Amino acid sequence: MGAGVLQVGALLAAGWLGAAVITVPARAEAPSKSEEISIVGSSTVYPFSLEAIRQFRSSSGQRLKLSATATGTSAGLREFCAGRISIAAASRPINAKELKACEAKGVSFVELPLAFDAITVVVNPANPFAKAISTAQLQTLWSRAAEGTINRWNQVNPRWPDQPIKLCGPGRDSGTYDTFNKAINGDEANSRQDYTASEDDEVLVRCVAMDRQALGYFGFDYYQANRKQLRALTVDGLRGPVAPSMKAVQESRYLPLSRPLFYYVSAKALNGNPNLRQFVNNSLQKGRKIAERAGMIPLQDSTYLLVTNKLYRNVLGSSFAGKLPIGLSVGQILKRSFNEQKQPQFR
C-alpha cells in the first residue's frame, strides 16, 4: 500500500449507460411488502454497485430487490436530492447546487467514500506514436477553445502525424466530465462539445477500441476491464510523467487525475429501512474485496472501518463544501472526508 494511504490511515486512526436488477434474499426483518433499493448515478461506481449486490446474496430471509443504474453522477444526484432514490453513486463530491437542492427538499445524507479512481486517458493499441501526454496538451485538446479548431494529432504534439483525431468522452451528466475539466481546463464546464459523448463508459470503450485514430478518457475500472482493446497514456502532471495504476494513486503520484468515489445515502431511508442499512454496512465491511473484484482502487481495511463508523455515528452532510478536491493527495482527501470538526449539516 502506498505512502499516502498509510499516512492517512495512521492519522485517522488517531483522531457503467445501463442498468441491472438483481433480486437477493434479505434478512428476517424485511417488511412483507415488495421493496426495492435503487442505486443510481456514476457509471464509474456502477461496477462497485453490481459487485456489492452480488456480495449481499449471502444474506437470508425474504426476497429483496436491489437495482443499480448508470446514468451519470449529476443525474443520480438530481434524483437523490429530489427524494426519489435512497442511494446516489458519485464519482465526485456533491456540489453546491446539489447541496441546495437536497436542503430544499429536506434530504439529509451520509457521505461515504468507497474507493479511489484514476481518470485514464486511452488510445487505440494500433496507434504507433502516442505513448504519453501532458496536462497542457490535454488542455489544448479538450478545452472549449479547441472546439472546431484542434482536430489533428500534430496540433497537440508537433512530433505526432498530421492525421485526424476522433475524440470520445463522458457526457455532461458524468462526474468524470466534471472532474476532468476542472483538473485539466480549470472549470467543470470548460470543455469542447464536438466529440462522441456518453455517460455509458462501455460506449466510450468501443469508441476508442474500434478506431485507431481515437483518444478518450474514463474511469480506471473500465480501462482495467478492457485493457486488451486499449492503451493507457502516461500523463505528465503534478508529479511528472506517471502511468495510471493502483499503486500510483495510492502513493498520491497520479495527480491531478485521481479522485474519490462515493455513495450518498439518505439518512431518512437509513433510519427507516434496516435492509438498506444492512446492505450499505455489508458493502463497507467487504469494501476492499468489492473494489478489487470491480477493478477499482480500494481504500485500506482500516479506512473502511472508519467509513463504517461514520455510517453508524450518522455523520450527516458533505465534508467537501461543494467543491471538487482537485490536485489533493489521497491522504488529504481522506483527511477532509473524515474531518471531525465538521458539524452534521450541509455546507
For 235-250, how does the pLDDT look when each residue is reduced to its tens digit (9 = 90+)?
999 999 999 999 999 9
Mean predicted lDDT score pLDDT of the chain: 87
By the 8 A CB rule, do 91 and 47 touch? no
118: phi then psi, degrees, rounded to nearest 5: -115, 110
CA distance 215 to 217: 7
Q: Who wins on pLDDT, 17 or 334?
A: 334
pLDDT digits (tens, 9 = 90+) for 58-75: 664 446 788 999 999 999
pTM of the model as a whole: 0.86
The domain made up of 3-116+260-337 is a member of CATH 2.40.50.140: no
DSSP 3-state of 214: strand
pLDDT digits (tens, 9 = 90+) for 3-55: 344 333 333 333 333 344 443 443 333 333 446 889 999 999 999 999 999 98
Residues facing 115 on adjacent strands? 261, 298
Task: Judge whether residue 343 has pLDDT over 60.
Answer: no
CATH T-level assignment (fold) for domain 118-250: D-Maltodextrin-Binding Protein; domain 2 (3.40.190)
> Residues with Cβ < 8 Å from 183, sequence gap 6 or more?
119, 135, 256, 257, 326, 327
pLDDT digits (tens, 9 = 90+) for 73-114: 999 999 999 999 999 999 999 999 999 999 999 999 999 999
Rounded to whole angstroms, what are the CA distances from 94 to 47, 153, 154, 174, 328? 20, 35, 38, 12, 17
Domain extent listing, the chain: 3-116+260-337, 118-250
Exposure letters 287-303 (e unless 16+ CB within 10 A, then b): bbebbebbbbbbbbeeb
